[in-house]
Amino acid sequence: MRKTIIILFILLNILWPNLSYGIEYSYRVAGDSQFPPYEYIDAEGVYKGFNVDMLKAISLVTELEFEFLPMKWEDAYYSIERGEADIIQGMKESEERKGKFLFSDSLLLNSQSIFVLDNNANINNERDLEGRTISLLKEDISYNQIRREYNVEIIEYESLDGALEALLNSEVDALIGNTLTVNYLSKERNSIELIKIIGDTLNEQRYCIAVDKNNELLIEKLNAGIAEIQKSGMYDSLYRKWFGAPIKNAKTQYETLWKVTIVISLGLLTLVLVIQSFNRKLKNIVDIKTEEQKVLINELRRYDKLQFMDKIISSIAHEIRNPLTSIKLYSTQMKYKLKDEEFILAASEDIPDEIDRIDGLIKEFMEYSSPRKAIIESFSLYEELMKTLKLVKFHIGNVNLLIDVDKSYYIRFDLGHFKQIVLNILLNSINAVKEVCFPTIDIRAAETEDLISLSFNDNGCGMGKDDIQYIFEPFYTTKEYGNGVGMFVVKQLVDENEGMISAISHGEEMGMSIILEFKKGECNEE
């Protein structure tokens, strides 16, 4: 009863929107608009990168809110000083800069490396650069150092990608640039196997988040978020996503060869002594990591549910208006028609029906909003699908919704999870078709011997071939203001219920399909 009252209060505030709510402060985050894979605007105009995903993850575990402001690096550097931003999301730490900024715990160690073609046997260390031609990013931090320490010809390029292209085309003998950025650009060009690193790294520095030197409270919150992300394993996932496998290091490979020989010999000698202890510790580590992963996934689910809750409430509010109007009409006329037997009879039949309608809508909402572990049961696919569609009826608008689902199909799944999954997919589809002239979402089901499949097919913006493979990863989105959490949560819920999910893109601007597969259920009616 208490939950019902609370939900009715929320709905009434939507029906009569005369109340105001406070909005938490959103920290302005300045960053480079063209510094892949750290931070950059892609071809579709989406701001993404390792730094962007790190702050999204920090937002998740700390509840800090961020507004991203991509710009030229020289503008980003002075943005805090000018009062245009609160945070610079990626910056090398230095003694000079410590006079202006407070720096977070290190996100990673940033360095530069010397790159040559893999088949170049003439340049194996820094001494071999004598008299060679070097490509370099214009105004690179290492320019003066290279001029001072090496007798080389330097050719500057407007972008690091241009400097890399010069190396791949053999227009220069070597490239000196940011290690991780060159690694990323090489991967994007499918040329990571064509180059290698020689010599020692250059200009190794801590790479951190920067804030105003007087904002100690904010830096403490950011550090707490970084620590939580590293503890949960999310940091490792984001690092692999954006930086992948490193370019081979010729020096490291040579040094490693003899080290490995010694290590293997010693390792074989000690393996028998430590194997039993390792097994005991391994179980404890697995248990801890499993629990941490559960906590992270639950946080992602909660975050996703909050994002969609306002849309669901607005739909329910719209649906409730009709029965409320009917009840109001009966109640206002009641005192004038107490002797009208026909009116009283109609009111006695209609008012309970309208109340049941409201009660049913509230129950549907509560079933979605209440967190629950998976409880597998059999239910009618068609009936529960239609009930779920009512929750977002208001958002469907002018979308042509086609439904081809046999009423005889029963599936085995958690009912609450089923509704959350359908809502996520459907709202994504509605958003994808909103700019289409004839927006259409086609929902259809089919059966095999053991499975029931349910597909959501739209004629919206679709996704590129490079994007579709990441659709179920956390924080990956092609939308300008998307959070990239919803489809990750959907995948987790499907896996928890031993179902299957896949995505097919029919090409950009040609729509896409999301296919769910469920175990067959049975009708429980006698």
Domain boundaries, the chain: 2-103, 108-207+245-253, 307-367, 368-520
Span 497-518, average pLDDT: 88
What is the average per-residue pLDDT within 48-70?
92
The pLDDT, as a whole number, for residue 19 is 36
pLDDT, position 461: 84
Asked if residue 444 has pLDDT above 90, the reply is: yes
The architecture (CATH level 2) of 2-103 comes to: 3-Layer(aba) Sandwich (3.40)
d(CA 439, CA 427): 13
CA 390 – CA 393 distance, rounded (Å): 5
Which pLDDT does position 519 carry in this prediction? 93
Write phi, then psi, for 93 (nearest 5 degrees).
-80, 140
Quick check: 406 pLDDT over 90? yes
Q: Which amino acid is at 103?
A: F
Q: Can you tell me the mean pLDDT for 116-137?
A: 90
Residue 400 phi/psi, 5-degree rounding, is -80, 105
Region for residue 153 given its phi and psi (left: phi exceeds 0; alpha: psi -120 to 50; beta: otherwise): beta
Which of the given ranges, 49-53, 244-248, 280-284, 480-484, has the highest pLDDT on average? 49-53
Whether 284 shows a pLDDT value over 80: the answer reads no
Per-residue pLDDT, averaged over 349-376, amounts to 66
Q: What is the pLDDT of residue 7?
A: 44
For 355-392, b/e burial (b = at least 16 CB within 10 A) is eebbeebbebbebbbeeeeeeeeebbbbebbebbbebb
User: What pLDDT is attached to residue 145?
Assistant: 81
Q: DSSP state, 350?
A: H
Rounded Cα distance, 67 and 59, in Å = 11
Per-residue pLDDT for 209 more than 90?
A: yes
Question: Are both 108-207+245-253 and 368-520 of the same fold?
Answer: no
Q: Decide: helix, strand or coil at residue 191.
A: coil
Name the residue type at position 202: L
pLDDT score of 484: 60
What is the 8-class DSSP label of residue 469? Answer: T
| Residue-level pLDDT at 15 | 42
Q: Which residues share a beta bridge with 102? A: 211
Residues 82, 102: Cα–Cα separation, whole Å: 16
Segment 304-315, tens digit of pLDDT: 555 555 555 555
Which secondary structure element, helix H or strand E, spans residue 354, and what is its range? helix 341-369
pLDDT on residue 240: 82
Q: What is the pLDDT of residue 6?
A: 36
Residue 424: the pLDDT is 85
The pLDDT, as a whole number, for residue 305 is: 54
Nearest to 510, CA basis, from 445, 462, 472: 462
Percent of the chain at pLDDT exceeding 90: 32
On average, the pLDDT of the chain sits at: 79
**149-153, 180-184, 286-290, 298-302, range with the lowest pLDDT:** 298-302
Would the pLDDT of 268 be above 70? no
- pLDDT for the residue numbered 138: 78
CA–CA distance, 243 with 187 (Å, rounded to integer): 9
- Laid out side by side, the sheet with 47-48 consists of 34-35, 39-41, 47-48
pLDDT at 264: 62
Q: Which of 474, 468, 457, 450 is nearest to 513 (CA)?
A: 457
Higher-confidence residue of 318 and 204: namely 204
* Overall size of the chain counted in residues: 526
Exposed / middle / buried, residue 187 (Cβ in 10 Å: 0-12, 13-18, 19+)? middle
CATH class of 368-520: alpha beta
Q: Which two tokens stand for residue 521?
A: 């259920």
pLDDT at 55: 94
Asked if 47 and 70 count as a contact pair (C-beta separation under 8 A), the reply is yes
Least confident of 262-276, 358-372, 502-516: 358-372
CATH number of 108-207+245-253: 3.40.190.10
Among the ranges given (100-114, 133-147, 233-247, 373-387), the one the predictor scored with the smallest mean pLDDT? 233-247
Position 8 confidence tier, pLDDT thresholds 50, 70, 90: very low
Q: What is the pLDDT of residues 217-266, one digit of tens each?
A: 999 999 999 999 888 888 888 888 888 655 555 554 445 445 555 666 66
Q: What is the pLDDT of residue 218?
A: 95
So what's the pLDDT on residue 517?
95
The reported pLDDT for the residue numbered 480 is 56
Taking alpha carbons only, the member of 430, 426, 420 closest to residue 491 is 420
